[in-house]
Structures are given as C-alpha cells and as structure tokens.
Amino acid sequence: MTTLTEQQIQTAARQLYEAEQKRVQIAPLTQAHPQMDMEDAYAVQSAWVERKVADGDPVIGYKIGLTSRVMQRAMNIDSPDFGVLLNSMQFANGSRIPHEQFTDPRIEVELAFVLNKTLQGENLSIEDVLAATDYVVPALELIAARSFRTDPDTGYTRTIMDTIADNAANAGIIMADRRFSPDEIDMRWCGSILYRNDTIEETGLAAAVLGHPANGICWIAKRFAPHGVALQPGQILLSGSFTAPVPVRSGDQIRADYGPLGEINCWFV
C-alpha cells in the first residue's frame, strides 16, 4: 500500500513529465515527500509512463539499473531498480542526438536482450533466460535525471526513491548493428572500452552485472512475477550497466568499442 495519496502520485508524475517537456529539472520528490517508499516511487513511475503512452509512445521493453557494484557505489545503494523503455527512446547506431533535449545526460555501457519466448516466474535461472533469448546486442543507455541529483538551492541529494520515480532516469537506448545468439559467447567476458572524444573514460566486463548479465533479466522477471506480468517476445531488455555513467556535453562524440562484437557511435549536437 502506498503512503502517498493518488493525487500526490499523479501530481509527482505530472511534475516529472513537465520537467522533461520543458527541459528543466525539478527538486527531488522526496524533498517534499520524505515518507515516499519504493511502492510510492514505482506508482509515480507507472503514472508517468501512462502519460507517455497516452501521448502515443508505446512500451517496447524494460531496463534494470544499479546492478553492478560500480553503479551501486555511484548511487550509494545496494539493490537494483527498473524502468520502462518507450518507442521514442530508440536511437540508431551513428545517430546525432540533440543534447538540449535531455537534462543532465549521461551514457552507460550495457548488453540488451531480445526475447523470442515469454519469460515469467520467481525461480528463473540464467539458463531459462538464455533459452528464451532470441539475440543479445551491445547497447548504450542514455540516462537523464528529470529531478536534480543534488538540489542547487538546498544541497539535498536525491534518493533511490527519486531515481525509481524518474523511470530509473532512462531516456534513450542506442544499439549496435551486430546481434549475436546467447550461446555464441560467454557473456561474462563481454567487455567494452568507452571513449568520449577519443579519451577512454570507462572500461568494464559484463560479469559486473550480478555475475552474469542474464541475472539482470532474471531480476526483472522475478520483480514482475507477483503481479502476473510476463516479459514478452520482441521486448528489449537492458540488463544493467557495467561501467559508471559518463556525462555528455554538446559536441561530444561517444564511442563504445566491444571488440569482436562491434562498436556503437553517437554524437551529441
């Protein structure tokens, strides 16, 4: 049961929605609602997603965040979260992305899973996920905080509840051109070198995501199972970042080199 009223949930969702529309960050929601718990936060996220879907922006999948120790240390938390991927969030490899459309944008390095079978249950294994996977593809996640990470007026730092309410800060996904089957490679050893303007900013291995990136997909499915929700064929599922987020500025080129699995390039203009 939520601690916020339905009106407070809808108001918070509207504030985040308008922050994105106007490209102006708002104060962290927990500053006004310190009692906000995880159920409240996901209720706000759901109400925000409903507004986006009503705008004609359908759901195409889900993301899991804060799975690796590097990301948990960055956010000072010890548990994952999830957000919703929308159709408008897709950018092609090689895209020129308008920087001004996003508030405090950052890039993370991930693997995306696309299913060919329904996946549901609280006792899923890595093998279950791999058996239900059509293909895996390197992906960058673009995150953008619609509420201040640190309020410039008060110094208040947003909490995990603020991040969850903000759709886990998800704003975009850029996928590589090459797809590979889940039995083609030991995904734990999938690595990437992340460049910003030819400078190496981050490196990492996908094993940082809960020991194996498929465990990220298990986590999402288990999170939904008590609500009778299944992960569906064709959905894009981001398994979690295995590098710390890298801030991007207008004029930056981002290149993620996944070695034999290819590269992702994008430019912020």
Q: What is the CATH number of the domain that holds 86?
A: 3.90.850.10
Q: Phi and psi dihedrals of 229, rounded to 5?
A: -100, 130
Q: Are 202 and 109 in contact (CB under 8 A)?
A: yes
**Residue ranges of the chain whose pLDDT lies below 70:** 66-79
Give residue 189's pLDDT. Answer: 96
Tell me, what's the pLDDT at 81? 78
CB atoms within 10 A of CB 136: 25
pLDDT of residue 77: 59
Give the model's pLDDT for residue 79.
63
pLDDT at 220: 86
Please state, in angstroms and rounded to a whole number, the distance separating the CA atoms of residues 161 and 169: 11
In a domain, 4, yes or no: no
- Residue span of the structural domain in which 164 resides: 58-268
Residue 100 lies in a domain: yes
Is the pTM higher than 0.75? yes
Task: State residue 68's pLDDT score.
Answer: 57
* Structural domain contains residue 89: yes
Is 15 part of any domain? Answer: no
pLDDT at 219: 86
Interacting residues of 247 by C-beta distance below 8 A, sequence separation 6+: 104, 105, 106
Q: What pLDDT is attached to residue 227?
A: 73
Give the relative orientation of helices 6-22 and 38-54 as an angle to the nearest 10 degrees: 60
Residue 86 lies in a domain: yes
> Is position 5 within any domain?
no
The pLDDT assigned to 102 comes to 96
What domain count does the chain have? Answer: 1
Host H or E run for residue 184 = none
Note the pLDDT of residue 75: 57
Q: Is residue 148 part of a domain?
A: yes
Does 37 fall in a domain? no
